[in-house]
Amino acid sequence: MRRAGGAVRRYSPAIVLFALLIGTWEAGVRALDVRGFILPAPSAIATALLDNWDSGYQIFPAARVTLYEALGGLAMGTSLGLAVAFVISRFPTSRDAILPVAVAVNAIPIIAFAPLANNWFGIQSPISKMAVAASLVFFPIMINTLRGLTQVEPSAIELMRSYAAGDGSVTRHLRIPNALPFFFTGMKIATTLALNGAVVGEYFGGLTVALGRVVVGSASALRFDITWSAIVVVSVMGIALYLAVLAIEQLAIPWHPSVRGEERTT
């Protein structure tokens, strides 16, 4: 009971702000009565959402598909990012070879990569959307984990050397635990990117029951209330994923200064 009270107290400012924003938005649209075209009132968006939940644009099934693609992309991108980070930390010379290439691949904008992925993996296949998501997830995970693996206190390395610990031991006992906070920083960035990637991938084609397609379809039909409701659903899913990362972080690294004590990060 006390914990629930504490949580309410913590989030009440955000909730209040939210209520204020929604209220102003609603009032503004009604008062100005212009651009209701592109920017419908919150009430209209809510109605559109409820009307199209299971039928019509089928937002709920679409959300499930998009989430599935995002998680798949998250898994793929994280695995690849971790693998490359470990390779570079184990073989420092490879850094000069791999890092510029990773940066280059990361700079390829989604607008170019999504059609490519569709071509490569099949436009209907969820894999093409996962590939787009993975391509966004890879870099933040890789660079954050790499920093965590390599940014170790020199005296800790000296200590391990005094134990004649081999590279493997040093990695297992020192570098990996040290890298965990950095990994979670990367994950927080990556979860939102994964969702974004999945949606954008869908934008360029694919199964109709997907949030990206809902956005495209409803926008071309000029049903912007539905477009916005899809966007809201994407947002909510993103927040949920982020909170999940936070919760896991609490369990995994309770000892880190930024996680313990009175100071809490987002």
Partner 1 sequence: MSVAGRVAIFVGFVALILVLWEAAKVVGGDPWRVDGEVIWDPPLKFSFASDVNLPHVWEVWAAMIAPLNAGTTESLGAYLFWQALYTWREAAIGFALGAAIGVALSVAFVHFGFFERAVSPYVIASQTIPIVALAPMIVFFVGQTMTSVVIIATYLSFFPVTIAMLRGLRSPDPRSLELMRSYAASRRAVLWKLRLPASLPYLFTALKITATASIVGAIVGEGPGGIRYGLGRAILFFSQQYTIAPEKLWSAILVTAALGVIFFGIVRLTELLALRRWPEGFAA
Partner 2 sequence: MSESRAPAVVVRLQGVGKTFTLGDGSTVALSDINLDIGRGEFVSLIGPSGCGKSTLLRTIGDLIEPSTGTVQVNAKPAKRARLDREYGMVFQAPVLFDWRTVEENVQLPLELFGQDKTTRARRAGEMLELVGLSDFARHHPYQLSGGMQQRVAIARALAFSPDLLLMDEPFGALDEMTRERMNSELLAIWERTGITVVFVTHSIPEAVFLSSRVAVMSARPGRITHLIDVDLERPRGLATRESPRYFELITAVREALRTGEARADETAMSAERAVAEGGIG
Binding-site ranges for partner 2 (CB under 8 A): 153, 155-156, 158-165, 169, 173-174, 177-178, 180, 253, 255-257, 260
Instruction: Pick out residues in 241-260 that bind partner 1 (CB under 8 A).
Output: 242, 257-258
Considering the complex, state which of residue 162 and residue 220 has its C-beta at the smaller distance from partner 2: 162
Q: How far is the CB of 247 from partner 2 (least distance, A)?
A: 18
- What DSSP string runs through the chain? -HHHHHHHHHHHHHHHHHHHHHHHHHHHHHHH-SSTTTS--HHHHHHHHHHTSSSTT-HHHHHHHHHHHHHHHHHHHHHHHHHHHHHHHH-TTHHHHHHHHHHHHHHS-HHHHHHHHHHHH-SSSHHHHHHHHHHHHHHHHHHHHHHHHH---HHHHHHHHHTT--HHHHIIIIIHHHHHHHHHHHHHHHHHHHHHHHHHHHHTS--SSSHHHHHHHHHHTT-HHHHHHHHHHHHHHHHHHHHHHHHHHHHH-TTSTTTSSS----
Shortest distance (Å) from residue 255 CB to partner 2: 5
The span of 23-31, 46-54, 138-146, 160-168 binding partner 1 (CB under 8 A) equals 138-146
- When the beta carbons of 93 and 162 are compared against partner 2, the nearer one is 162
Distance of closest approach, residue 87 Cβ to partner 1, in angstroms: 12
Choose the contact partner of 5 out of partner 1, partner 2, none; CB within 5 to 8 A by kind: none
Least distance CB 186 / partner 2 (angstroms) = 18
**Binders of partner 1: how many residues, by CB under 8 A?**
74
Query: Which of 124, 151, 169, 208 is close enough to bind partner 1 by CB under 8 A?
Result: 151
